[in-house]
A and B are shown apart, each in its own frame.
Chain A
Amino acid sequence: MAELNEVIHQPIRLRIMASLVTLDKETQVGFNYLKDLLDLTDGNLGAHLRKLEEAGYITITKTFVNKKPHTFVEATGSGRQAFAEHVTALEAILNGNKRPG
């Protein structure tokens, strides 16, 4: 049975992962776009991205575009799987198939 994931369940990280898994595999989203989409500050988004990166759920790539630094973020395979399991667990709770705890 799918288990809830404590790293992903935090509301901001949940929305970050929801954004990233919406993209096709092998596609990255820009840091600034993600920040605007989720209405977060640089520091707040950066802190949550680091948590997700430490868990192996995302990769962060820093690069230069026209001599300006750009950061891109992508969900890993294990991140996609962990998110899918978390969603399944949430649906199970909602449907009364699994007791919280």
Chain B
Amino acid sequence: MNVTPEEAQEALAAIQQTTVKMRRGLAYYAYQQILWGLLWFVGFLVSQFVQHAMLNWVWIAIPILGVIGSALMGVSQGRRMRVTPDSRLAFISSRVGIFFGSLYGFGVVWFVIFQPLNALQIALFWITLVMFSYIVAGAWLRISLLIGIGVGVTVMSLLGYYLLPGYFYLWSAVFAGGTLFGSGIYILLRWR
């Protein structure tokens, strides 16, 4: 089989292009992070500058939009790829699903039990709960980026809560929403 260096280079370039295209097309979690990061960013920014009864509606709309967007992305992704049925990965995926379902189920229960919480406590509660899920998922799937995001945002949120309560929403828009949005973009750009 005769292959010249030029042909080898062309073949390697074709492989690289296809790999990037495939990764970007399947980067479901990157798009999810971008979506939730954007929603958090807008929500916290509005919370910082708009002290109005409308805020309740904003924070009702944000999770609804996020869940609908995530579900649509999930359906689209499911048409593109799936975990091989009856495989080890399928078993792990089902356990990860049960974990996240349980965690957020408990989150809602805790949220109700802990009432009354003030607005800052509610924000900190949900940010740290979501970041806890990032840390666990990162440790489970051995993805250090997720652990880094989880630990980093948790630490920054606690700092903002205790040191700058008057600017906590603005702080969270940048360090929680901005981090999710930025890390999603980073994942896509890394696969150039």
Chain A residues with CB under 8 Å of chain B are 4, 6, 9, 11, 14-15, 18-19, 22-30, 32-33, 37-38, 61, 72, 74, 87, 90-91, 93-94, 96, 100-101
Contact = CB atoms under 8 A, between A and B. Distances in A.
A33 B80 contact: yes
Given A72-B81, A96-B5, 20 more contacts: A6-B1, A9-B3, A15-B14, A18-B15, A19-B19, A19-B22, A22-B19, A23-B22, A23-B81, A26-B83, A26-B87, A26-B90, A27-B83, A30-B79, A37-B22, A74-B84, A93-B4, A100-B1, A100-B3, A100-B4
Interface of B: 1-5, 8-9, 11-12, 14-15, 18-19, 21-23, 25-26, 79-84, 87-90
A93 B89 contact: no
Nearest to B6: A94
B88 A26 contact: yes
Contacts, number: 91
Contact of B82 (A38, A72, A87): A72
A91 B12 contact: yes
Chain B binding surface SS class: helix
Nearest to B91: A26
B15 to A, nearest CB: 4
Contact of B26 (A23, A94, A96, A100): A23
A26 B80 CA distance: 14
Given A30-B80, A94-B8, A94-B12, A25 B89 contact: yes
A42 B191 CA distance: 28
A74 B85 CA distance: 12
Contacts of A14: 11, 14-15
Contacts of A32: 79
B89 to A, nearest CB: 4
A24 B84 CA distance: 10
Nearest to B10: A11
